[in-house]
Amino acid sequence: MRLSRYFLPVLKETPSEAQIVSHRLMLRAGMIKQASAGIYSWLPLGFKVLRKIENIVHEEQARAGHMPMLMPTIQSADLWRESGRYDAYGAEMLRFKDRHDRDMLFTPTAEELITDIFRANVSSYKDLPLTMYQIQWKFRDEIRPRFGVMRGREFLMKDGYNFDLTKEDALHAYNRHLVTYLRTYERMGLQAIPMRADSGPIGGDDTHEFLVLAETGESEVFYDSAVTDLKFGDRDIDYDSVEDCAAVMEEFTTKYARTDETHDPALFEQVPEDRRRIARGIEVGQIFYFGTKYSEPLGAVVQGPDGKQVPVHMGSHGIGVSRLLGAIIEANHDENGIIWPEGVTPFHVGIVNLRQGDEATDGACEALYKELTAKGFEPLYDDRDERAGGKFAAMDLIGLPWRITVGPRGLKNGVVELTSRRTGESEEMTAEAAVARIAEIYAGV
């Protein structure tokens, strides 16, 4: 993509309504535009990152054998009355009537609808276990939407649902989801700590939230600092192995880490004093086991091995896809703008032409652009007739992790400059070497 042809409405001034870093930078970098309170249009740059995040979620769900599907954003209130949640959910649910005077709602979550799909199509234990998920827009009518996409009313979420014959099977699904989430977040350059949490309106006794530590987090968290040393890495996990998944669950949840709703001061006191930490965190996902909370009232039963009808055990598992974008920025920025991790960057590398219109410089940039594109990379070429300082400022603001700078002086010596956005370090090398370095950097992403 050439910047002269790209829709990137960057702002020089920070909008007064933006209270946190991610909201300020997403507005300034031309990623989003507010349509109404807590509801945003996703402009090309923001939408591109959103799709990168979504693709990582899809890939890790597929790795675990989970099946993608898509359910509607609008649901009938009848299902929610069956489960008993219609009146209990509260004012966050957007309720309305259609033209036939039927009660409808804009879905905040889909436990009822997926259970209805299951009960209509599955009748035998032989069809279990079963896990399906979707990435779909949700709506929760927050009383005070704020912080941009971090606490909006409309948001994109991955919500998955498992159906199992026994509690033991369902807890394996719970552990399996924890493994997939750890891998998902690390691929995005985040450390998301699983913390014992409150289940809220979803229900159930077993639930963990995944939180990214950040000063602007909405939750107060209490944890043993040793949890920040844990890394999942590139482990080879058999997702069908109860032992493998349980071992990861034990490793990542044994040390104390809780949100303020489940904090236990007595247990926290048992953590060595030098490792006790109180901070704030951004919730980016949550996993639940809730047994037969939905299957019993909705009649989601199967015939067991003994021929008897039994309600299935269920769980649900969510990742805030649009919220993640804000969390990544909160964890990766400096005073000049965003610093995208390589796994989610909208463009792999920026090309800055220091003298637009100069035949040699234009030719070298075009050659770089074509070579990178031919190798499967997405460069963003700043071919605008702007001063160098403005071009560097724009690249810093939008946060591409690598920049190749091309100018007449360097070309006389046969070199370009490769710069790391994260460290600010630059190195002169041939254009061929710069392309090879970019390929090496992204080989493991």
**Mean pLDDT for all residues in the chain:** 94
DSSP three-state, residue 220? strand
The domains of the chain, with CATH numbers, are 3-338 (3.30.930.10), 349-442 (3.40.50.800)
Longest dimension (CA), the chain: 82
**Short-list 404, 305, 394, CA closest to 353:** 404
Distance CA 26, CA 16 (A): 13
What is the tens place of the pLDDT at every residue in 406-415? 999 999 999 9
Contact 319, 57 (CB under 8 A): yes
Contact 283, 213 (CB under 8 A): no
Token output for 410 = 């360097």
| Range with the poorest average pLDDT among 154-163, 208-217, 265-274, 424-433 | 208-217
Residues near 444 by beta carbon (within 8 Å), at least 6 away in sequence = none
pLDDT of residue 199: 58
pLDDT of residue 177: 96
Task: Report whether pLDDT(151) > 90.
Answer: no
Contact 118, 298 (CB under 8 A): no
Average the pLDDT over 309-336 and give the result. Answer: 95
pLDDT band, residue 170 (cuts 50/70/90): very high
What is the tens place of the pLDDT at every residue in 285-319? 999 998 999 999 999 999 999 999 999 999 999 99
Given CA atoms 239, 240, 241, 247 in this order, what sign does their dihedral have? positive
What is the tens place of the pLDDT at every residue in 83-135? 999 988 888 999 999 999 999 999 999 999 999 999 999 999 999 999 999 99
Average the pLDDT over 359-381 and give the result. Answer: 96
pLDDT of residue 201: 53
431-437 long-range contacts, CB within 8 A, separation 24+:
431/364, 431/367, 431/368, 431/371, 431/404, 431/406, 434/368, 434/404, 435/368, 435/371, 435/372, 435/375
Token output for 366 = 């075009």
Average the pLDDT over 53-79 and give the result. Answer: 97
pLDDT band, residue 227 (cuts 50/70/90): very high
Average the pLDDT over 1-30 and give the result. Answer: 91
Contact 289, 300 (CB under 8 A): no
Question: What pTM was estimated for this model as a whole?
Answer: 0.93
**Short-list 158, 185, 191, 174, CA closest to 58:** 158
Distance CA 169, CA 246 (A): 12
Contact 281, 211 (CB under 8 A): yes
Average the pLDDT over 198-212 and give the result. Answer: 72
pLDDT band, residue 15 (cuts 50/70/90): confident
Average the pLDDT over 138-162 and give the result. Answer: 92
